[in-house]
Structure 1
Amino acid sequence: MASSSAVEPSFRLSDRGSIWCFIVSMGFLDLGLWGFFIERRSSLGLRFTVLLMHVMFVGAVFILDPTLDWRIHEEPWYIGLYGVLVLLTLVQYFYTAGSSPGYVIDVMRAGSMMHATFVNTAALSKQSNSRNGNTNSPTSHAQLQKLSAMTPTSWAQMVVDLYPPGSNSRDWTCTHCRVVQPPRTRHCHDCDKCVLQFDHHCIWLGTCIGKKNHCRFWWYISEETILCIWTAVLYIESLRLDVDKAWWKDFVGVILLAVLIFILIFLLLLWLFHSYIAVTNQTTYEVARRKRIFYLRGVPERVHPFSRGICRNLYDFCCSSQKGYILEAVPPREELEARAARYTCRDVICCRCC
């Protein structure tokens, strides 16, 4: 993340095929289907809109399908599971919307009140160790529990140690919060706070997606995608019924199905993209602005600096909200260049890439 004060020029999309569907899907979902009608993005209003959309699409299923009464009596498990999925999706939505992404001010308070854990990615790099045949982490217990009392000076010194030598302090000092930003942090102008491992600000949730709630966001879009697929199937089944019904029901069903499929396409793209960045330990902001982030410039294209292997990445992604605050250091350039080498067959067989 570059300095918050730096003006970020428009970037050219990478020619890597994986980035590109995401830009469309993120723009669609986070600007929103109706986002342009809302000049002031009220969190309460947006959440009510999302709830209303669920009521509309799910409620239409029961209005348009005349056989649902029969199915409720004959196949209660089927409609029951569908109802449970609707409920779980809404609960997950509000749970994610009300969660904290992890703010810099929070980790500073945690350091002052109790302790914060700072992990050097280079020291914990499983890939580097496994290539040398060493599967044990060299990180000592003392490294995993560095401080019990945090002052602004000690915080600044800790953050300096996370950056490559020779980095300019102006690049990581937020001009809005006046705090020293750890790597992967960015100031969100909507939240008016610096967010750890900033991914993006989701308009529909009314909050940022960051280190502490990225996994919750992934589960939400997973459930939402499954719900959209199931609802689309119910619409298709109702349209295929060979029964007498009002013409307007078929017309409304076709319109809603078309909109639902349109939403589903972007949800699938969004789910695939966030699954990809979870596996590789990246963020949306890092993928989109890779060439603008000062400590990622010059990093080989195929190298993901903060990745520690698929298994460890997924573990960290799923358990980050329970593990406290973990700040990752930027690996040294020598390690990044070593990672650029292709894995051998032996590396793959021994699962050293994981």
Structure 2
Amino acid sequence: HVGAAARMPCCGESDPPHEAIRVLSQPQRHGSHGSSIGSIWGFRPGSECLTGAGDLSAGRKPWRCVRLIVMLLHALFIGAVFLLDPALRSQIRQDQWYMCLYGGLVLFTLAQYLYTANSSPGYVADMLKAGSAMHATFINTTTISKQVCSKNGSLNYFMSRSKIEQHNPQSATPSSLLQMMDLYPPGSSSRDLTCSYCHLIQPPRTKHCHDCDKCILQFDHHCTWLGTCIGIRNHCRFWWYIFGQASLVIWTVALYIQFLHVDMNGSWLKGLTGLTLLLPLIVILIVLLILLMLHTYLALTNQTTYEIARRKRISYLRGVPRKVHPFSKGICRNLYDLCLSRQKGYVLEAVPPLDELEARARPYTCRDVICCRCC
């Protein structure tokens, strides 16, 4: 039998006929407790009665001033270059497409900023509300359509809620502790994996954020300028924001350089003002490019900033070979999961067995390259 955590309807919510619940699984590592396969839960977010927008924004009011400052900085740097450069204003009147492209990039960047700032990074509490283990259902493997994943040998189970009802499964209430412990290497202690603030068993890659005062799934970092954490549910949005912001700053820096080059013999006050604004803009650009390269690397290898910075302090990563990325499924699959996957639920990744990690540490062979093991 396979243990699948199915979200039960709440607050009069109706059952969509084709709603799928995703469960990833891998071989059992902590003994038998009603399932021969240790499940990795896949939860769909619940209705607004569980994860309403009010709960999301309630703890973020102090960050509104920061977001206002970000908006004002955009207005300052962008507006100043148009006020200082009369040639640019005349160019806009002649080539309206130029202004349309630049204005479109500004709107895209600001929209992506607000979209990311108001997004949920993926809270453990919301995951438990959306698919509580108390409502877990056990069904026979014949009722599940299996799709074998490449690279890591795990299985994808897509289970229709209507099929569950047709087969009249037997409901049970398994221990969430035992199911969560299946995600960790053998010998892990639940006491060491329990958040001392939320008093919840943390899945792998989870960390408590003291600014948000919540446990974040696949925690990357807390962004002060966004006023939110970056986690499993908004990492892709954060990457697109950095990409758009870096592109906008590059274009704006080019406009300032063009103005200073053309206006070398003009007013010294305008030149000094333009140079004063250009220097901090270049510093911001350098920071953005570093962030963009870092998070591109993290996306390609399925890592987080926290895992890289605190690798030696994370208990289940201490024994991992140095050049091995334990949660990577290959470049193509990592990018698909981050950017293109339409999955709306929560997928908890198990820490791979040590023998699998040691096998990954071996150098690539010609056969590995042909079989696309490296991508």
TM over 0.5: yes
Q: CA deviation at 1:241?
A: 1.0
Aligned with residue 63 of structure 1, among 38, 62, 83: 83
Aligned with residue 151 of structure 2, among 127, 132, 145: 127
Measure, in 2, the Cα distance between the counterparts of 1:150 and 1:45: 48
For 1:29-178, list aligned pairs within 5 A.
42-112=62-132, 126-128=150-152, 138-141=155-158, 154-178=175-199
The answer on whether the counterparts of 1:112 and 1:148 sit within 8 Å (CA) in structure 2 is no
Correspondence for 1:188? 209
Q: CA deviation at 1:89?
A: 0.5
The answer on whether the counterparts of 2:177 and 2:190 sit within 8 Å (CA) in structure 1 is no
Deviation sequence 1:273-292 (CA, Å, 0-9, x none): 00000100000000000000
For 1:1-354, list aligned pairs within 5 A.
42-112=62-132, 126-128=150-152, 138-141=155-158, 154-242=175-263, 245-319=266-340, 322-354=343-375
Q: CA deviation at 1:326?
A: 0.3
Measure, in 2, the Cα distance between the counterparts of 1:148 and 1:294: 37
Amino acid corresponding to residue 349 of structure 1 in structure 2? I
Q: CA deviation at 1:349?
A: 2.8
The answer on whether the counterparts of 1:108 and 1:150 sit within 8 Å (CA) in structure 2 is no
Q: CA deviation at 1:74?
A: 1.1
Deviation sequence 1:245-289 (CA, Å, 0-9, x none): 422110011111111111101110000000000100000000000
The answer on whether the counterparts of 2:253 and 2:282 sit within 8 Å (CA) in structure 1 is yes
Q: CA deviation at 1:155?
A: 2.4
Deviation sequence 1:96-120 (CA, Å, 0-9, x none): 000000000111111139989xxxx
CA 1:124 to 1:49, structure 2 compared with 1: closer, same or farther past 3 Å?
farther
Paired residues, what number? 301
Gaps spanning 5+ residues in structure 1: where?
1-39, 117-122, 130-136
CA 1:257 to 1:247, structure 2 compared with 1: closer, same or farther past 3 Å?
same
Q: CA deviation at 1:310?
A: 0.5
Instruction: State the TM-score, normalizing by the size of structure 2.
Output: 0.74
Measure, in 1, the Cα distance between the counterparts of 2:334 and 2:88: 44
Measure, in 2, the Cα distance between the counterparts of 1:73 and 1:126: 55
CA 1:157 to 1:199, structure 2 compared with 1: closer, same or farther past 3 Å?
same
CA 1:243 to 1:303, structure 2 compared with 1: closer, same or farther past 3 Å?
closer
Q: CA deviation at 1:302?
A: 0.5
Measure, in 2, the Cα distance between the counterparts of 1:115 and 1:247: 72
Amino acid corresponding to residue 88 of structure 1 in structure 2? F
CA 1:338 to 1:95, structure 2 compared with 1: closer, same or farther past 3 Å?
same
Q: CA deviation at 1:68?
A: 2.1
Measure, in 2, the Cα distance between the counterparts of 1:73 and 1:54: 22
Measure, in 2, the Cα distance between the counterparts of 1:107 and 1:49: 32
Measure, in 2, the Cα distance between the counterparts of 1:311 and 1:192: 34
Instruction: State the TM-score, normalizing by the size of structure 1.
Output: 0.79
Q: CA deviation at 1:240?
A: 1.1
What is the alpha-carbon root mean square deviation over aligned residues? 2.8
Correspondence for 1:14? none
Gaps spanning 5+ residues in structure 2: where?
1-59, 138-146
The answer on whether the counterparts of 1:211 and 1:321 sit within 8 Å (CA) in structure 2 is no
Q: CA deviation at 1:138?
A: 4.2
SS in 2 for 1:347: helix
The answer on whether the counterparts of 2:264 and 2:271 sit within 8 Å (CA) in structure 1 is no
Which is richer in strand? 2
Correspondence for 2:6? none
SS in 1 for 2:222: strand
CA 1:73 to 1:54, structure 2 compared with 1: closer, same or farther past 3 Å?
same
